């Protein structure tokens, strides 16, 4: 693209994202474009852009590129591997995930290459749009609120319960889920303990789509326990905002989560999340231990093993603390004080760009 007619400028930095753009750093390398540095960001290493090896010529890559230390991956061609192999700098979307993908468990066959390139790999936490996700200005809510008016949050809870035809009450906590319904997101773990969750007692509101079997199971759950569970299959932007505000507890039991944004929205909306310790969830959520609560750093509930009993234990801890309203209010305010907008991440990317530009 750098040689196309009409392009009168050459970038200092070419920033590529995920497998779809993985060949760009390879083209730069084989073209000898030493005055253009490349950054390649891995958002989800499970998607690798695998194509037949005989496409190499169509892609205008030299034959020597199709090698173990090039774009070849188990006899085929991987766009993702090309980006990892040839980019000048690598990033992924959280510090913990940058370490995780160097392990066999999370590397999807590329952990060895990532360990080789660890010196240029950085985890930079994604951020959220602070203008779009702000309970003080959110037009999708029944009642706006901030950290000083958290009592108003119950109005959104009531609105959510009415919309989902759940009993309108503040006597039990309402658990919220907004997610793709997939194995990766750990929603099968939640299904496995759904009956026990209802008996805590608690209500459950689920919004999402994905795996058809999981969609059916959540729909059946909602029909079986209409007083305790509601499930909306699909996506609804207004409902997503209302769940973040109206739920008391947000649930993200992901098996792996490169970054995750919903836990950040939940903190902003005073809805402490229950998460598994993986990827960006581990980087943003501080478990509500007595010590962390005492020093004001706790903002949610963390479990380690991706099993139904571990999730249920974390949910029970959350529900128990919800009944201790003074401590719960402290937990909510702790989360609302943390800034996970793009301010921090943008600064780190700017520093990375400047460091690369200095090597040109």
User: Distance of alpha carbon 207 from its chain centroid, rounded?
Assistant: 16
Residue 18: inside a domain: yes
Q: Percent of the chain having pLDDT more than 90?
A: 96
The arithmetic mean of pLDDT across residues 301-311, rounded, is: 98
Q: What is the CATH number of the domain that holds 350?
A: 3.40.50.2000
* Same domain, residue pair 185 and 307: yes
pLDDT over 70 (residue 2): no
Residues 196 and 320 in one domain: yes
Task: Please indicate, yes or no, whether residues 350 and 322 belong to a single structural domain of this protein.
Answer: no
Give the residue numbers spanning the domain of 186. 150-339
Q: Does 160 lie in the same domain as 116?
A: no
Taking 60 as the threshold, does the pLDDT of residue 5 lie above it? no
Residue 242 is predicted with a pLDDT of 99
Whether 134 is covered by a domain: the verdict is no
Cα–Cα distance measured from residue 245 to residue 133, given in angstroms and rounded to the nearest whole number:
10
Q: Which of 77, 74, 40 is nearest to 58 (CA)?
A: 77
Distance separating alpha carbons of residues 328 and 265, to the nearest angstrom: 18
Same domain flag for 322 and 212 = yes
36 and 70 part of one domain: yes
Same-domain status, 47 and 63: yes
For residue 184, being part of any structural domain is answered with: yes
Tell me the per-residue pLDDT of 38-95, one tens digit each, with 9 for 90 and over.
999 999 999 999 999 999 999 999 999 999 999 999 999 999 999 999 999 999 999 9
Q: How many domains does the chain have?
A: 2
Does any domain span residue 133?
A: no
180 domain-assigned: yes
List pLDDT tens digits, range 98-107. Answer: 999 999 999 9
What pLDDT was estimated at residue 3? 56
**One domain for residues 103 and 186:** no
d(CA 286, CA 301): 7
192 and 46 within one domain: no
Q: Is 137 among the domain residues? A: no
Question: Domain check: are 161 and 105 in the same one?
Answer: no
Q: Are residues 314 and 198 in the same domain?
A: yes
pLDDT at 185 over 80: yes
**Residue 181 pLDDT greater than 70, yes or no:** yes
Is residue 144 assigned to a domain? no
What does the pLDDT read at residue 78? Answer: 98
For residue 123, tell me if it sits in a domain.
yes
Same domain, yes or no: 266 and 118: no
């Amino acid at each position: 693209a750098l040689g196309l007619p009409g392009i009168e400028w050459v970038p200092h930095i070419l920033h590529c994202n995920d497998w779809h753009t993985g060949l760009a750093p390879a083209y730069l390398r084989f073209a000898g474009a030493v005055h253009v540095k490349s950054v390649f960001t891995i958002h989800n290493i499970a998607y690798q852009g695998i194509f037949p090896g005989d496409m190499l010529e169509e892609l205008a890559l030299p034959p020597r590129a199709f090698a173990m230390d090039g774009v070849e991956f188990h006899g085929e061609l991987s766009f993702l591997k090309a980006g990892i192999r040839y980019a000048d700098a690598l990033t992924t979307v959280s510090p913990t995930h940058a370490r995780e993908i160097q392990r066999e468990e999370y590397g999807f066959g590329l952990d060895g290459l990532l360990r080789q390139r660890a010196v240029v790999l950085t985890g930079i936490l994604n951020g959220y749009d602070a203008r779009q996700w702000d309970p003080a200005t959110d037009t999708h809510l029944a009642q706006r609120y901030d950290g000083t008016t958290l009592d108003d949050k119950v109005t959104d809870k009531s609105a959510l319960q009415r919309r989902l035809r759940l009993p309108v009450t503040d006597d039990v906590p309402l658990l919220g889920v907004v997610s793709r319904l997939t194995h990766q997101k750990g929603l099968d773990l939640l299904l496995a303990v759904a009956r026990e969750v209802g008996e805590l007692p608690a209500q459950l509101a689920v919004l999402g789509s994905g795996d058809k079997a999981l969609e059916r199971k959540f729909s059946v759950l909602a029909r079986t326990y209409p007083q305790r569970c509601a499930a909306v299959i699909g996506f609804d932007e207004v409902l997503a905002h209302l769940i973040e505000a109206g739920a008391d507890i947000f649930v993200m039991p992901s098996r792996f989560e490169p970054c995750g944004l919903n836990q950040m929205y939940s903190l902003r909306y005073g809805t402490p999340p229950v998460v598994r310790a993986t990827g960006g969830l581990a980087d943003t959520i501080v478990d509500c231990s007595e010590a962390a609560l005492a020093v004001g750093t706790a903002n949610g509930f963390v479990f380690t093993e991706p099993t139904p009993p571990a999730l249920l234990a974390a949910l029970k801890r959350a529900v128990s603390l919800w009944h201790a309203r003074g401590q719960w209010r402290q937990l909510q305010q702790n989360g609302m004080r943390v800034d996970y907008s793009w301010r921090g991440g943008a600064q780190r990317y700017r520093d990375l760009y400047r460091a690369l530009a200095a090597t040109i």
